Structure 1
Amino acid sequence: MSLAFEKKVAVITGGGGVLCSTMAMALADKGAHVGILDLKQENAESVARQITSAGGKAIGLACNVLDTDSLKAAHQKLSDTLGPCDILVNGAGGNHPKGTTSNPFLLEEDLLANKDLKSFFDLDPEGIKFVFDLNFIGSLLPTQVFSKDMIGRQGTSIINISSMNAFRPLTKIPAYSAAKAAISNFTQWLAVHFAKAGVRVNALAPGFFLTDQNRRLLTNENGSLTDRGNTILSHTPMNRFGTPDDLTGALLWLCSGEAAFVTGVVIPIDGGFSAFSGV
């Protein structure tokens, strides 16, 4: 696998984030030329600089995955600089407070007491739409733009980012869980649709990783775990959160020729969370 990606062009959306930047650097370390796309130009450029300073080839560009014109402009720049896309990682995604409930369970007494809590009945449709757009449409549109480069060429693949929430929906975050379930389904559909065109489509389903988005939910200011953080680890047989490097092995394998007969799979990377019943 050490030479599997030499001179291949990999494009990563959300590439300025903790997890996706690690995946970008892993692909670059194996010889890929990497296009880092992020909503924030400075984040994309920062990751690209880390790659180029280590001897790799990369370019960082601002791009909105929900804007086709923005994606097409990024595609043109990447094509002119690096060449046609061989590997697409749809890494952009996230949650929104307006698609989240305050408590895991609906209690009648909370409703009667008129407490200042957000229940299922208070979920904001615009918040739900934001989460679905960012995760699902934000994977569909980049795929439409960049996968055209792949049709009929050898060794091309798409990696979507699903989530453990797609397997076992977490309490309090119905929009995110449902959106990631849509990603898993889309991965299978797209794998079938592209099967005769030579493009493989698979997905990673991370378990629980500490990122900027969830750190406040899982840890306190002093670094100790919140109740939710403790609950997660008690249901994770390996008894730890994932690290960004835990994603790279599966990523490199799925993108390589070693996985040439693998398409339409969603791989849990979760420390055993999905296998554990809780007892």
Structure 2
Amino acid sequence: MTNKVAVVTGGGGILCGELAKTLAKNGAKVAVLDLKKEAADNLAAEINSAGGTAIGVAANVLDKEALEAAHREVLKELGPCEILINGAGGNHPKGTTSMEHFSPDQLDKADLTSFFDLDHEGVEFVFNLNFLGTLIPTQVFSKDMIGKDDCSIINISSMNAFTPLTKIPAYSGAKAAVSNFTQWLAVHFAKVGIRVNALAPGFFLTDQNRSLLTKEDGSMTERGNKIISQTPMGRYGKPEDLNSTLLWLCDPATSFVTGIVVPIDGGFSAYSGV
């Protein structure tokens, strides 16, 4: 991976920040893209202080013009993109129900969000952020890969793309779209040598879900306990648990591997609950 140029969207976050650092440790020159410039710069500074090469770039993955400006900056500072990590994504409260199961009495409770109360704009935001937020950066950066060897696109899907989780229909559906798009794009790019695969993390503690899964004292919430009880390895994933699969998929040794979505979930998807 020495001197390969890698672009990581959502690079200011916990999981994609770890992926960016791993690429840099293995010789890649990394462009950390994030909506928050400060977060991108902080991660780039950490990489550079550790002896790697990185730049922080502000970019909104839903704004093609902003991404094209980011692309020009990456070309100028590092060179053409050879590895693209589509990591930007997330959920929104307006696309989330309050309860796991519906009951008629929810219709009369103003403080609850039932299925019938889901805000279509919130759902649309989640789909756009995860699906279009993968498609548009790919349109902008993958042109650099045409005609080159050993180029890879790695999308970030989720275990709830396989089996939807309760309460988050928008996020589950959006990540299912990312998995489907991964397969479609792998076929579409197969003749020009660009491989497209995806990571599907199980449950990892991030800034986005920490308050849902853990209490202030560090103990688990009811939902957190349910998750751990359904995860055979009995723990949440750690950011570094993603690294080996990332490196495997980027390695020329996997030159015949494309169109797969790899679960990294501590056995969650294999467990029937009994």
TM-score by length of 1: 0.97
Partner of 1:61: 57
Structure 2 CA distance for aligned equivalents of residues 173 and 164 of structure 1: 13
1:9 aligns with 2:1: no
Structure 2 CA distance for aligned equivalents of residues 174 and 130 of structure 1: 13
1:125 aligns with 2:120: yes
Q: How does 1:84-95 map to 2 (within 5 A)?
A: 84-95=80-91
Deviations 1:45-88 (A, max 9, x none): 00100111111111001100000010000000100110000000
Deviations 1:6-64 (A, max 9, x none): 01000000000000010000000000000000001110000100111111111001100
Residue identity in the other structure for 1:52 = N
1:274 aligns with 2:251: no
Task: Say which of 249, 252, 264 aligns to 1:257.
Answer: 252
Q: How does 1:27-106 map to 2 (within 5 A)?
A: 27-106=23-102
Which SS does the other structure have where 1:83 is aligned? coil
Structure 2 CA distance for aligned equivalents of residues 132 and 115 of structure 1: 26
Structure 2 CA distance for aligned equivalents of residues 188 and 249 of structure 1: 21
Structure 1 CA distance for aligned equivalents of residues 205 and 63 of structure 2: 29
In the alignment, structure 2 segments of 5+ residues that lack a partner are: none
Structure 2 CA distance for aligned equivalents of residues 49 and 6 of structure 1: 19
Which SS does the other structure have where 2:7 is aligned? strand
Deviations 1:61-118 (A, max 9, x none): 110000001000000010011000000000000000000000000012333x445211
Q: How many residues align?
A: 274
Deviation at 1:258, TM superposition (A): 1.7
Residue identity in the other structure for 2:153 = I
Task: Say which of 21, 25, 48 aligns to 1:25.
Answer: 21
Residue identity in the other structure for 1:105 = H
Partner of 1:230: 225
Which SS does the other structure have where 1:251 is aligned? helix
Partner of 1:140: 135
Which SS does the other structure have where 2:30 is aligned? strand
TM-score by length of 2: 0.99
Partner of 2:176: 181
Deviations 1:249-277 (A, max 9, x none): 00011011121110000000000000001
Residue identity in the other structure for 1:46 = N
Structure 1 CA distance for aligned equivalents of residues 113 and 220 of structure 2: 23
Structure 1 CA distance for aligned equivalents of residues 15 and 109 of structure 2: 40
In the alignment, structure 1 segments of 5+ residues that lack a partner are: none
Checking the alignment, whether the CA contact within 8 Å between 2:106 and 2:114 is kept in structure 1 is no
Residue identity in the other structure for 1:32 = A
Structure 2 CA distance for aligned equivalents of residues 172 and 89 of structure 1: 27
Deviation at 1:168, TM superposition (A): 1.2
Which SS does the other structure have where 1:65 is aligned? coil
